[in-house]
Amino acid sequence: MALYQSKMNRRDFLKLMGTFAGASAALASCAPEQIPPPAPTQVPPVVVNPTGVPPEPVLPPVSLGIIALNRMGYGPRPGDIEAFNALGATDEERLRNYVAQQLNPDSIDDSEFETRYAAAGFETLHKSLEELYFDHIANNPYNSNDDAYWEWYSLPAYELVDASFLRAVYSKKQLVEVLADFWHNHFNVYFWQDDGVPLLVSYNRDVLRRHMLGNFRQMLEAVATHPSMLYYLNQNNSSDAGPNENFARELFELHTLGAENYFGVQDPNAIQKDANGIAIGYVDNDVYESARAFTGWRVDDDIYEYEDGVEKTGRFLYYKPWHDRFNKLVLGKYIPPDQPDMQDGRDVLDLLANHPGTARFISRKLARRFISDNPPDSVVQTAASVFMEYRDAPDQLKRVVEAILLSPEFKQTWGAKIKRPIEAAISMMRALNTDFTRLPGGIPWMCSMMGQPMFEKRSPDGYADVKEAWANSMSLLYRWNFAVGISENWLDDEDQQRFIRTDIVGQTPAELRTAESLADFWIPRILNRTMSESDRQAVISVMAQDRGPQEELDQDHINWVLPAMVEVILMSPDFQWK
Amino acid sequence: MPTLKLTRRNFLQGCSSAIAAMAGARLTNVAFAQQDDPTDTLIVVFLRGGWDALNVVPPMDGDDRGFYEKARPDIKISDLLPLSDQFGMHPALAPLHGLYQDGRMAVIHAVGLNYDTRSHFDAQEFIELGTPGSKGTTSGWITRHLQGSGVSSILPALSTSGAPSSLLNFVPTVNLNDPADFSQWDNGLAGSQQAALRQMYNGETLLHRAGLRTLESMSIVSPLVEQEYQPSNGASYNDDELSLQLKTVARMIKLDAGLRVATVDYGGWDTHEYETDGNGGYIADLLGNLASGLSNFYLDLDSGYTDRLSVVVISEFGRRLVQNEDYGTDHGHGSVMFTLGGGVNGGQVYGAWPGLHNDQLYDHADLAITTDYRQVLSELLTRRMGETNISNVFPGFSPTPDLGIFRTI
């Protein structure tokens, strides 16, 4: 993690982008009348329970369509469950067909999304790595003392955030979007990493999306040679005179073998070897030797000015003068001196990508995303076997994902996870058929209040994928506030003229006039299933307010209260499971 | 919750463009039960990234100063603020030096996680779970302390920075950044929505418990939502990430709602490159924020609260003795901890000093560890927090005789 920020800091950027600058003022001018305060509430002391591990939920079974749409995507939009159900005669057949379709995204008609994407008119997302570097870094036309310089510098990365939300909400290639998020977190690069912010667009497109249904070994090399990663983990400065171990360490610990295969600070000779003489796990010495193997892997950015053979293209550069030419020993394998360009690093990537420990680590992480916070070993083993068997195949990762999605465990674990904040926010917009083209700044801001600003995990481990990280008061409160903001149409961004609309009343059949009938329309519309009777009654009571559940409601009452009722469905535990 | 009448129909028409984030409507008044509070409030400040202990509290004199300067020709710190004959503080920590001299702050050197790892994430996790070498436990060390204490409190735990593993599965934790943000957006119907949520979240799973706790938290925090905060004693918080969290903690302490433990995170310490520029530069800025935040926090609470306050500053490891080629330092081992509070026997540097000669280093590279971080926390829990079962908090750990960092409450 390179944390020396000579040129920028995040607060300045946020201020510049002005996302929320006008919010307080806008609100002050039309703050609601003060609500008469209710009677004081006595908050009882918490008497702490000595055995505090909460039980897993016990939920009624749901159809495979609900599981598939919530786990392989960001929750169903209206009509999605019906489309899933049309894919076969049995749930099993439908799931097989849906998985096949989602794993072959080019076969999917995505015209609605494409129309919106075209209308959004992104200025920078089509640019190549070199163009991003040239236009937004090397030849930024503005003066670096001006706001305009930093706006231009950060524009591509901001557009990437906008486009990522747009895709997640509207694209039918939902699995692609879930995987793009998964792999960004796996090979995490912090949005504000030094020196290369605009290049995140290329990293996301040319590295993650390009390889995530392909071959892991190829993906790994694409990651290890992309400027975004080289900058983020200080690889850009790593030379034979002083190898920087940051990238090498995270390559082992986070990208491939995982901490589960780390044996700490030990003599490498003490580690058990497999039949091929490869160590079954790694120690610190492997990190240091690998750091030497990667010396000279840098960016062609001429940061030291006037070095021979270095220009300013922003591309990956193998810089031989910085490479440590001597022999290395990694995971028990001897790497000879004076190998051809890049071969030392490639040998390390080969060792890691073909290691059974990596197969298990990657498989477990994917299963954690798709199945449960603590996925059963059975499915991890199945997926790891596929990973190893197809390690040279061009569609290795597609096969691994397929093995997980078609596993019995996928179907049997509903409710073993809760949606993460970004997933919750996007699934609300999907469920309500919310309409936007350019994303108002309030949407990512709300995600940051929930603890998950997109692409802004500063440390290289990515956002946690277990419920303990997200089931807390601040995060849940803003999840609930998001339900209110999106349903009440309070998230427009007038400064930037970006609008987001949810028409709840307009999506409700006009003949429904009672609290009960409105609840019974919207509960299955959002959840695609029923709620428990007590939860249903809670929803009805919000809709009814001081009227009876079957009393005919006037239009003013419906206009005001119906969004609040819908919000409660979105806030409910039932909406959070996946 | 009384049912709210439809008195505000025109609200939506008038305010369609308002962003309600700042509406801050107070939904409940709150009255706290009397708190019986026999222990300290403990604040754990976790510095994420592995702070460079040897540039925070460098040796000032003798052979070790020589080893230090030789290993760090470009990033050594000078003009230290003396702590003892042997050590001084980085000059950017000046705001804390008075607290140290007044005996309110102690330094523990060559302390840390006595486990062979240089991984941030392993080290942080082991420290916070309190189980070095094992990530199998389902609770953090603070969780076990609070659960074992049978505490009865409205606000037993607060986190201002996400969900730290030290509080893993401690569902009563209130989690918030800034009270001003901590209210439900309201189109006038939030009261009835909350009544519905109370019904829906009435359950035992983690999600249910967290939902109920969120509703309770809003009641607890509601007195602060619209309050303009005035720190005591002229204390003045900066607007950096740490200071904002400490300000929130001070406000929550002053609610007198029985806060026992608060966790605060401050990141950015992974200084692999360009760590210093003389005595200034990157790490000096971080240390300056740390010192300003802590000293103002202490000043603010020196209004009747510091006798029952213990602050611990900890990081997952120190850094390599030898600088790297990028004017930074790589992951190391032994570290330094600070403690502040009315019950601290301050003005001293605790812990046996292992030395910086190559043969004295851990793995011939890093400051060795002579004091287990659990020793410091055990003394604190036993002397200030009423803990009687350290082996429950830190399974498998046997404390040595106390170093004497804390007075018995």
Cβ burial of A445 (10 Å; 0-12, 13-18, 19+) is buried
Q: Which residues, 6 or more positions from B5, have their beta carbon under 8 angstroms from its beta carbon?
A: A546
Specify the pTM.
Answer: 0.88
> Phi/psi of residue B283, each to 5°?
-70, -30
Could you give the angle at the alpha carbon of A188 between the alpha carbons of A159 and A237, nearest 5°? Answer: 100
Residue B134 CA to its chain's centroid (Å): 22
- Give the DSSP H or E segment for B374: helix B373-384
Cβ neighbours around A36 below 10 Å, total: 9
Kindly identify which residue of chain A lies nearest to residue B324, measuring between CA atoms.
Answer: A242
Nearest Cβ partner of A46 from B121, B156, B175?
Answer: B156
Report the pLDDT value the prediction gives residue B259, as an integer from 0 to 100: 94
Could you give the angle at the alpha carbon of B93 between the alpha carbons of B87 and B99, nearest 5°? Answer: 85
Residue B109 in 3-state DSSP?
strand
Pick from B141, B98, B154: which is nearest to B380 by CA?
B141
Would the CB atoms of A542 and B189 count as touching at under 8 Å? Answer: yes
Instruction: Flag whether residue B3 sits within 8 Å of chain A, measured between CB atoms.
Output: yes
Q: Sort out which chain A residues have CB atoms less than 8 A from B214's CB and list them.
A: 473, 476-477, 480
Specify which residues B313 forms β-bridges with.
B45, B338
Kindly identify which residue of chain B lies nearest to residue A563, measuring between CA atoms.
Answer: B187
Q: What is the band of A193 on the pLDDT scale with cuts at 50, 70, 90?
A: confident
Domain residue limits at B85: 34-182+231-393
Whether B351 maps to a domain, the answer reads yes
Whether B147 maps to a domain, the answer reads yes
Q: Sort out which chain B residues have CB atoms less than 8 A from A546's CB and list them.
A: 3, 5
Interface residue of A48, A193, A561 to substitute, partner B, most B CBs within 10 Å: A48
Q: What is the band of A216 on the pLDDT scale with cuts at 50, 70, 90?
A: very high
Q: Sort out which chain A residues have CB atoms less than 8 A from B28's CB and list them.
A: 37-38, 40-41
Would the CB atoms of A556 and B6 count as touching at under 8 Å? Answer: yes
Residue A565 CA to its chain's centroid (Å): 29
Would the CB atoms of A494 and B17 count as touching at under 8 Å? Answer: yes
Q: How far is CA A50 from CA A56, A421, A569, B390, in A?
A: 18, 29, 33, 15
Q: Which amino acid, residue B380?
A: L
A33 has pLDDT over 60: no
Q: What is the band of A37 on the pLDDT scale with cuts at 50, 70, 90?
A: very low
A22 has pLDDT over 50: no
Would the CB atoms of B197 and A494 count as touching at under 8 Å? Answer: no
Decide if A333 contacts A278 (C-beta within 8 A).
Answer: yes
Instruction: In whole angstroms, give the CA distance from residue B130 to residue B142.
Output: 9
pLDDT, tens digit, 9 for 90 and up, residues A301-328: 977 777 888 999 999 999 999 999 999 9
Kindly identify which residue of chain B lies nearest to residue A9, measuring between CA atoms.
Answer: B240
Instruction: In whole angstroms, give the CA distance from residue A403 to residue A395.
Output: 13
Report the pLDDT value the prediction gives residue A49, as an integer from 0 to 100: 54
Nearest Cβ partner of B119 from A242, A262, A449?
Answer: A262
Instruction: In whole angstroms, give the CA distance from residue B221 to residue B200.
Output: 22
Q: Sort out which chain B residues have CB atoms less than 8 A from A35's CB and list them.
A: 4, 25-27, 186, 188, 191
Instruction: In whole angstroms, give the CA distance from residue B299 to residue A378.
Output: 56
Relative to beta strand B349-350, strand B105-112 is parallel
Instruction: In whole angstroms, give the CA distance from residue A432 to residue B407.
Output: 59
Interface residue of B119, B174, B264, B320 to substitute, partner A, most A CBs within 10 Å: B119
Whether B257 maps to a domain, the answer reads yes
Would the CB atoms of A38 and B139 count as touching at under 8 Å? Answer: no
Residues 126-145 of A with CB under 8 A from B: none
Q: Which amino acid, residue B240?
A: D
Residue B161, both tokens: 């920075």
pLDDT, tens digit, 9 for 90 and up, residues A397-439: 999 999 999 999 999 999 999 999 999 999 999 999 999 999 9
Instruction: In whole angstroms, give the CA distance from residue B270 to residue A190.
Output: 14
Residue A443 C-beta-side C-alpha neighbours within 13 Å: 33
Residue B151, both tokens: 């505490």
Whether B23 maps to a domain, the answer reads no
Pick from A221, A139, A228, A212: which is nearest to A177 by CA?
A212
Could you give the angle at the alpha carbon of A247 between the alpha carbons of A243 and A250, nearest 5°? Answer: 135
Q: Sort out which chain A residues have CB atoms less than 8 A from B20's CB and list them.
A: 27, 481, 484-485, 488, 490
Q: Which residues, 6 or more positions from B357, have their beta carbon under 8 angstroms from its beta carbon?
A: B63, B64, B67
**Residue the block writes with tokens 């994430």:** B121
Nearest Cβ partner of B151 from A48, A492, A534?
Answer: A48
Nearest Cβ partner of A42 from B9, B31, B176?
Answer: B31
Q: Sort out which chain A residues have CB atoms less than 8 A from B216's CB and list them.
A: 43
Distance from CA of B184 to the nearest CA of A (A): 6
Whether B404 maps to a domain, the answer reads no
How many domains does chain B fold into? 1
Whether B45 maps to a domain, the answer reads yes
Instruction: Flag whether residue A40 sits within 8 Å of chain B, measured between CB atoms.
Output: yes
Q: What percent of chain A has pLDDT over 90?
A: 86
Cβ burial of A533 (10 Å; 0-12, 13-18, 19+) is exposed
The DSSP string of A443-510 is: HHHHHHHTT--TT---STT-S--SGGGT-SHHHHHHHHHHHHHHHTT---BTTTTB--B--TGGGS-T
The DSSP string of A138-171 is: IT--S-TTSHHHHHHHHHHHHHHHHHHHHHHHH-
As a dihedral over the C-alpha atoms of residue B162, residue B167, residue B170, residue B173, rounded to 10 degrees, the angle is -50
Instruction: In whole angstroms, give the CA distance from residue A375 to residue A368.
Output: 6
Low pLDDT (below 70) residues in chain B? 1-37
Kindly identify which residue of chain B lies nearest to residue A535, measuring between CA atoms.
Answer: B200
Instruction: In whole angstroms, give the CA distance from residue A426 to residue B89.
Output: 48
> In angstroms, what is the C-alpha Rg of chain B?
23
Report the pLDDT value the prediction gives residue B37, as an integer from 0 to 100: 59
Residue B148 C-beta-side C-alpha neighbours within 13 Å: 19
Q: Which amino acid, residue A212?
A: M
Interface residue of A12, A14, A27, A46 to substitute, partner B, most B CBs within 10 Å: A46
Distance from CA of A25 to the nearest CA of B (A): 9
> In angstroms, what is the C-alpha Rg of chain A?
26
Q: Sort out which chain A residues have CB atoms less than 8 A from B151's CB and list them.
A: 46-48
Distance from CA of B84 to the nearest CA of A (A): 31
Distance from CA of B249 to the nearest CA of A (A): 15
Kindly identify which residue of chain A lies nearest to residue B185, measuring between CA atoms.
Answer: A481
Instruction: Flag whether residue B38 sits within 8 Å of chain A, measured between CB atoms.
Output: no
Q: Sort out which chain B residues have CB atoms less than 8 A from A557's CB and list them.
A: 6
Q: Where are the domains of chain A?
A: 356-411, 505-576
Nearest Cβ partner of B200 from A46, A52, A572?
Answer: A572
Residue A302, both tokens: 């001429």
Residues 50-109 of B with CB under 8 A from A: none
Would the CB atoms of B205 and A264 count as touching at under 8 Å? Answer: no
Kindly identify which residue of chain A lies nearest to residue B172, measuring between CA atoms.
Answer: A46
Residue A453 CA to its chain's centroid (Å): 10
Instruction: Flag whether residue B20 sits within 8 Å of chain A, measured between CB atoms.
Output: yes
Decide if B182 contacts A554 (C-beta within 8 A).
Answer: no
Q: What is the band of A217 on the pLDDT scale with cuts at 50, 70, 90?
A: very high
Relative to beta strand B261-266, strand B41-47 is parallel
Task: Please tell me what DSSP assigns to residue A207.
Answer: I
Instruction: Flag whether residue A533 sits within 8 Å of chain B, measured between CB atoms.
Output: no
Would the CB atoms of B282 and A3 count as touching at under 8 Å? Answer: yes
Instruction: Flag whether residue A123 sits within 8 Å of chain B, measured between CB atoms.
Output: no
Task: Please tell me what DSSP assigns to residue B291.
Answer: H
Decide if A551 contacts A518 (C-beta within 8 A).
Answer: no
Instruction: In whole angstroms, give the CA distance from residue A415 to residue A476.
Output: 17
**Residue the block writes with tokens 């030849």:** A139
CB pairs under 8 A between A and B: 345
Task: Please tell me what DSSP assigns to residue A309.
Answer: T
- Hey, what long-range contacts does A81-89 have (CB within 8 A, 24 or more apart)? A81/A528
Quote the ipTM score: 0.92
The DSSP string of A47-93 is: E--SS--PPPP------HHHHHHHHSSS-PPTTHHHHHHTT-SSHHH
Interface residue of B1, B6, B16, B19 to substitute, partner A, most A CBs within 10 Å: B19
A362 has pLDDT over 90: yes
Decide if B330 contacts B319 (C-beta within 8 A).
Answer: yes
Q: Is A545 left (phi over 0), alpha (psi -120 to 50) or beta?
A: left
The DSSP string of A456-473 is: ---STT-S--SGGGT-SH
Nearest Cβ partner of B189 from A535, A564, A576?
Answer: A564
Pick from A453, A376, A473, A457: which is nearest to B167 by CA?
A473
Instruction: In whole angstroms, give the CA distance from residue A210 to residue A169.
Output: 21
Q: Sort out which chain A residues have CB atoms less than 8 A from B14's CB and list them.
A: 30
Q: Sort out which chain A residues have CB atoms less than 8 A from B148's CB and list them.
A: 50
Instruction: Flag whether residue A121 sits within 8 Å of chain B, measured between CB atoms.
Output: no
Whether B273 maps to a domain, the answer reads yes
Q: Tell me, what CATH number does B66's domain have?
A: 3.40.720
Report the pLDDT value the prediction gives residue B314, as an integer from 0 to 100: 98
A544 has pLDDT over 60: yes
Specify which residues A117 forms β-bridges with.
none
Distance from CA of A89 to the nearest CA of B (A): 35
**Residue the block writes with tokens 């079962």:** B389
Report the pLDDT value the prediction gives residue A540, as an integer from 0 to 100: 98
Task: Please tell me what DSSP assigns to residue A136.
Answer: I
- Give the DSSP H or E segment for B305: none
**Residue the block writes with tokens 């005919």:** A552
Pick from B286, B362, B370, B379: which is nearest to B109 by CA?
B370
Would the CB atoms of A473 and B213 count as touching at under 8 Å? Answer: yes
> Mean pLDDT, chain A, as a whole number?
91
Interface residue of A6, A35, A482 to substitute, partner B, most B CBs within 10 Å: A35
Would the CB atoms of A473 and B173 count as touching at under 8 Å? Answer: yes
Whether B57 maps to a domain, the answer reads yes
Pick from B154, B24, B31, B256: which is nearest to A41 by CA?
B31
